[in-house]
Structure 1
Amino acid sequence: MRDRWLSGKAYWHLANGGNGVDNPDQRIAEDCRLFLTGVLSEAMDLITNIVAVFSYVIVLWNLSSFALSLDFIGLDLEIPRYMLVAAFVYVALSTGLTHWLGKPLKSLYVEQQRREADFRFALARMRSNVDEIAMLGGEAAERQGLDRRFGEIMRNWKRLINRELILGLFTFPYNHTVLRIPLFVALPAYLAGSVNFGGLMEVSTAFSSVVTTLSWFIFSYRDLADLVAASSRLDGFLGAAGAATAGARPAPGAGPLTITDLRLRLPDNRPLLSIDRLSIAMGEAVWLSGASGLGKTTLFKAIAGLWPHASGDIFRPAGKSLFLTQKPYVPIGNLDDAVAYPDPADNFPPAALQAAIAAVGLTHRSGAILAEADAANGGLSGGELQRLALARLLLHRPDFAFLDEATAALDVAAEAELLARVRRDLPQTALVMVAHRRPAGLVRLRTVDLGAPREADARETREPAPA
């Protein structure tokens, strides 16, 4: 499950594809546990009952050698070993009624798991944004949101309890009459003299044993419904994850990054951004400018192979690429782990890690444990987060770096100093930047004006950096 979620960036497609797969973390952690424990428990019970039913059927077969004679609409009918036949018919009818009464349980269990996962996610999201909520005084709004989600849990729980009550009104009496029904079934044979009183008690006991073992489905119906609900959620997750990884990817190869006849669209098929041709070579620094909402971030997603709503060609070189977002991701660990991400910190010499950290001015944070108290940003400020991302860039030394507002939280002087350091240390790296203002600190910078939304071409200009 974990590997399917992580392979082919399925986690991104599931979060952005509108496929209706909710709470994948719940499905991987909780539903897998429910499914495995349920399968093991029910499988052991089923095997035990299968072995037992064969034993009891043989006993009942030997004890119920007599037949039942009936006069039905003028026809004389004789049912040999009718006690055995009656046991199977009785359980079959009871099983059908149980399923009819309990069928809604599956959807109610699925809904309950989803509602509980939504509630846990809301709590975790609140914990990740405690500073913003506290400074805005958002306690009342958060309480209202949590109350609403908890109310949804309670409403579905009441429906679930009502359905279990309806099912229990049948299964509870059924369970307590299993030992009494055989006497009524065997009574015709006793009255006809086919069996004496001692034989009546023996055949009744054998009948009860057969019915009890055959009633495994009835007695386990609630647990089976819960198991089927977990299985359904896992099956939906696996199916959606498999479909999500089937999207197109930019073709790797040697040479510059080349975009040809690219048409980006929104998920509802509205046009977003069009580029007839754009080429970026190794070592270039390029600023992609344009109005907000144009689709510049979406362009980076398309280059990364994450945007399925597009047509045209993107030729991405086979070398290493690194994407830096406005709010970098901070994994749980220390600063070395965060700078080395997505590779393990052990892959780099300690001196290289410390040099990258020192180059961006984060030496005072070296060795700090991140993302324990604050999972959203590891306790770093916005500017420190972006310095961390630039340290990651200096450490990984990619062939192509895509910076999406990656210096927006820095003042102009800090941006100029850090970008100049990046350009000096990584002269062969292509820097492709999206920013609302011209990036500072780069002597040679090519400006690509993507124009207004839905314009069909990209206009390229070269401007000298200000002195």
Structure 2
Amino acid sequence: MKKIAAQFVDLCRPFWRGKQGLLALLLLVAAISMGWTIVYLNVLLNDWSKTFYDALGTFDSSLLLSLMKEYGIYILIYIVVFVHQDWFTRWLIIRWRSAMTEELVNSWLAKRAFYRMSIVGKIDNPDQRIAEDIGLFVDKTVSLVASFLVVTAQLSSFVIILWELSGVQRFTLFGEEWVIKGYLVWAVIIYTVFGTLITHLIGKRLHGINYEKQRAEANFRASLLRKHDNAEQIALYGGEQQEKSHLKRQFSAIVSNWWRSMNAERNLGFFTTGYMRISLIVPIFAALPAFLSKTVTLGGLMQIRGAFAQVHGALSWFIRMYREFMELSASMERLSQFKQEIKRHQSEDEVVPVGERLQLDQLSFTTPQGSPLLQKVDLSCEAGSWSKFSGRSGLGKSTLLRTLSGLWPYYDGRWQSLEGRSLLLPQQSYLGQGTLAEILCYPHPALADSDMLRQTLDSVGLGAWRDRLDEQLNWDRVFSGGERQRVAFARALIAKPDTLYLDEATSNLDHDAARQLLALVKLALPACTVVAITHQTELDDLFTHRYDLTDFASQRS
């Protein structure tokens, strides 16, 4: 319980103690005030019910007509208040969800934590945690907190009424006379406590089931997205049957979870349904002796029934909200794990010294699981030089470049980076969404004017697109592998980095096209330091330094 409370506070604190906290508090107060107004209306309606049923019993038509008009006024007020309560609640939910989403996305993207989390793979489906778990957490929290404060007012109001209606009951048991004040209050408390305990015993399995449900649903959705993004490759391989089998296995996890949820909900439903139905007649049976002895009128009996129902409803809040509690606890656990993992990976960020040369001193690399890659690498590259790294596949060459770019934290040793900005062009560049102009300037959409963009497209061999800068297409599908690499070089020419890392950045181009692009970089960025990994030996003469990294291979490699 202490852990759950700590998780809850940690998730709530940034919003409620932030700059939006005051307005959020006002919205919460407004929603709760509407709820308390509804409670007050229910108190008035409880008194009204006694008068109405007494008038019904005496066939007082004039009083009945007046009471019906009064009821209409109550209902009109009730509708206005109820709608505004829902409106204030929704306003609060979307503000909190927006702020929490922004805060979590900013943390996830800060200090490249999202990248490090992706290569470790400990946290599944960050998209689902951000898109769905935040919404679930905020919605359930606001609903539960607001309803709890409302039922507290409901309980305090109607328990007094029910106590007064109960009167004093005297009876003889074991030869002694017993006097019980407010016996209906004690009856509803005992009945509700019994129901709450049984509900928890039956339904506690739902926490784990809901956690696995969210995970299974997210895995299936992510798998469908991967199939969509790689449709061409799947079709070329003829892998439809394999993909169908994979999707079927993942969906079977959803089905299995659904059955577990059905069984748990069924077992819980057997009790809660009967419990709630019986609660409708418990107050009638409890007050029946007084009614039969004519000490309580028909109106009084209905008033007792209404007050009992209100007290029972307030005390049964936990039973009615049990499923919401289980959903809240599952989403809260997933979000807490996500935040903790973000903090852990942000703490791995470090400041690397800069100088006039790229210097590596006894630098060793590992996988996230600790398996060794390149070991004790010693080399240096002067500013403005062109260096090529070579070696067999799986050696760790790409890992070396990612370390030099500040991405890879799993290394030991010292190194010094060059001054200025750096840019890494991978084998497959991420194009993203937006217009062609925004794609070329990514991640700085206002970095260049249209004339410069057209000239750049011409220079990298994409002149056919020079007049289509404002078009928005699915660029990952529009451009071929070679064209995507040309777009990457266009980005480099626009960004003008001081250091350019190339990780098989021309592998989809023929040797002549690759040479033209590299020559273009030499011409446009004469002071740029270039460090490249390439298996195209025809380009060797473009580099001032060539390093064979096989000498630094680990025994595992």
TM range (shorter): 0.7 to 0.9
Distance in 2, matches of 1:341 and 1:75, equals 88
Q: Answer yes or no: is 1:160 the counterpart of 2:261.
A: yes
Which secondary structure state, in structure 2, belongs to the residue aligned with residue 342 of structure 1?
A: coil
Residue type of the alignment partner of 1:14: M
State the Cα distance separating 1:51 from its structure 2 match: 1.9
Structure 1 position 139 matched with structure 2 position 240: yes
Q: 1:119 to 1:360 in 2, by over 3 A?
A: same
Partner of residue 228 from structure 1, selected from 329, 351, 355: 329
Residues 79 and 408 of structure 1: CA distance in aligned 2, closer, same or farther (over 3 Å) = same
Provide the residue aligned with 2:35 in structure 1: none
RMSD value, Cα: 2.7
**Letter matched to residue 415 of structure 1:** A
Q: Would you say how many aligned residue pairs link Structure 1 and Structure 2? A: 449
Partner of 2:153: 51
Closer, same or farther: CA 455–244 of 1 in aligned 2, 3 Å: closer
- TM-score (ref. length: structure 2): 0.74
Matched, 1:338 2:407: no
Alignment of 1:260-339 (within 5 A): 260-339=361-440
Which position in structure 1 is the counterpart of 2:521?
422
For 2:429, what is the secondary structure of its paired residue? coil
- Counterpart for residue 105 of structure 2: 2
Partner in structure 1 of residue 118 of structure 2: 15
**Alpha-carbon deviation of 1:423?**
0.9
Alpha-carbon separation, structure 2, partners of 1:233 and 1:371: 35
1:406 is the counterpart of 2:505: yes
Taking the aligned partners of 1:69 and 1:260, their CA distance within structure 2 comes to 92
Q: CA deviation at 1:318?
A: 4.2
Change over 3 Å in CA distance of 1:455–1:116 after alignment to 2: closer
Structure 1 position 221, deviation (Å): 1.9
Farther off after superposition, 218-227 or 356-365: 218-227
Question: 1:28 is matched with which residue?
Answer: 130
Match of 1:242 among 316, 335, 343: 343
CA distance in 2, matches of 1:50, 1:89: 18
Residue 31 to residue 66, structure 1, CA distance change in 2 (3 Å): same
Map 1:57-68 to 2 at 5 A.
Answer: 57-66=159-168
What is the rounded CA distance, in whole Å, between the counterparts of 2:313 and 2:172 in structure 1? 27
> Per-residue deviation at 1:331?
0.9
Q: How much identity, in percent, do the aligned residues show?
A: 35
Q: Say whether 1:434 aligns with 2:536.
A: no
Is the Cα contact below 8 Å between 2:435 and 2:471 reproduced in 1? Answer: yes
Equivalent-residue separation in structure 2 for 1:315 and 1:90 (angstroms) = 72
Q: Which amino acid aligns with 2:111?
A: G
Greater Cα offset, 362-371 or 122-131 = 362-371
**Aligned-residue offset at 1:239:** 1.8
Indicate the SS of the match to 2:478.
coil
Q: Deviations over 1:13-45 (max 9, x none)?
A: 2211232x1111111112222233333333443
SS in 1 for 2:162: helix
Q: How does 1:47-196 map to 2 (within 5 A)?
A: 47-66=149-168, 80-185=181-286, 190=290, 196=295
- Paired AA for residue 430 in structure 2: Y
Taking structure 1 as reference, are residues 146 and 371 closer, same or farther at Cα in structure 2, changes over 3 Å only? farther
Letter in 1 for 2:492: L
Unpaired segments of 5 or more residues in structure 1?
A: 457-467
* Aligned position for 1:217: 318
1:80: Cα distance to partner?
4.3
| Residue matched to 2:459 | 359
Which of the pair is proportionally richer in helix? 2
> What are the superposed Cα offsets for residues 377-416 of structure 1, whole Å, 9 maximum, x if unpaired?
2421111111111111111111111101111111111111
Name the amino acid aligned to 2:117. L
Uncovered stretches (5+) of structure 2, i.e. residues with no partner: 1-103
1:443–1:234 Cα change, 3 Å: closer
Give the letter for the 1:354 counterpart. R
Hey, which of these two has a bigger chunk of strand by percent? 1
> What letter is aligned with 2:252?
G
